[in-house]
Amino acid sequence: MKRTVLISHSVFSLLLLIVLNLSYFKIQPLIWIQYFVFLLSFILAGRGFGKIVAEFSGNREHETLGSPLFFLFSALSSWLVNIVFSGSSSLVLIIFGLGSISFLGIKFISEWGSLDKDKLIEDLISENVSLVLFLLFLLISSFHLTIATGEKPMDFGILNYFYRHESGTPTDVWASGSGFSYYYLGFFAWAKWMKLFSLGTDYGLPLAFAMNVWLFFQALLGFFKIVFKNG
C-alpha cells in the first residue's frame, strides 16, 4: 500500500510538470529544467527545514510549517548575506545552505516508508493539494497577470531592482537613500531565488505568486493540524 501511494505521488508530480511545460513554458527545455530544479529545491529545503523545526519543538506536526518558515528564513538570511558578501560570494553561501537543508529534506522523504499508512496518506494528500493549487494559480497568473498583481508594472520594477542588486544594504525602491522597508522582504527573497536559478522576472513573477499561494496553504494547514491535534 505504501509503495503504491508513493508511486502514485511520483507519477502525479511528473504529469504536473509535463502539463506545466506544455501550457506555460511553451516547450522550452531550458526553462523547464530551471523550473524543475527550482521547485524540487524548494520542496526538499522546506521539508528539511520542517524537520529541523520539529526536532527542536519535539512535535512532528510542526514539519508542515517547514516550507513557509523556510521561505521566511531564506529571505532574512539572504538579505544578511547580501549585506556582508559580494554578489558571487553570497550566491555560493546561499547554494551551500540550500544544499545542506535539502539533504535533510531527502532524509525526511526517505523515512516516508516507515510511517504508518494514515500518516503517509495525510502527508501525500497535503503535498498533492499544494501542487494542484500551485499549478492552478500559476496558470491564472501566467495568462492573466493583472489578476495576480493588480500593479504589474510596479511589481516588475521592484523585482527587477532587487534582481540586479549585487551587494550591500538595499535601499528603498522609490525613495533614493531611504532604508530597506520590511514589506519589500518578500520581493527581495523571490529576486534572490530567481537569480539563483537563472529565472528571469518574466517567468519569476507568476512563479512567485503561485508559490505564495502554496506557502499560505501550507501555513494554514500546519496551523490547523497543530491546534486541533494538540487541542
DSSP string, 7-39: HHHHHHHHHHHHHHHHHTS-S-HHHHHHHHHHH
The string of pLDDT tens digits covering residues 118-129 is: 666 666 677 777
The per-residue b/e assignment along 107-127, b for 16 or more CB within 10 angstroms, e otherwise, is ebbeeeeeeeeeebeebbebb
Instruction: From residue 4, give the alpha-carbon distance in Å to each of 8, 9, 13, 135.
Output: 6, 9, 14, 24
pLDDT tens, 137-191?
777 776 665 555 555 677 777 888 888 876 666 777 776 667 777 777 778 878 8
Domain range for residue 34? 2-230
Structurally, the chain folds into a number of domains equal to: 1
Q: What is the pTM of this model?
A: 0.65
Q: Which residues of the chain have pLDDT under 70?
A: 1-37, 57-63, 82-124, 142-152, 166-169, 175-177, 229-231
What cell numbers appear for 89 in the block? 560570494
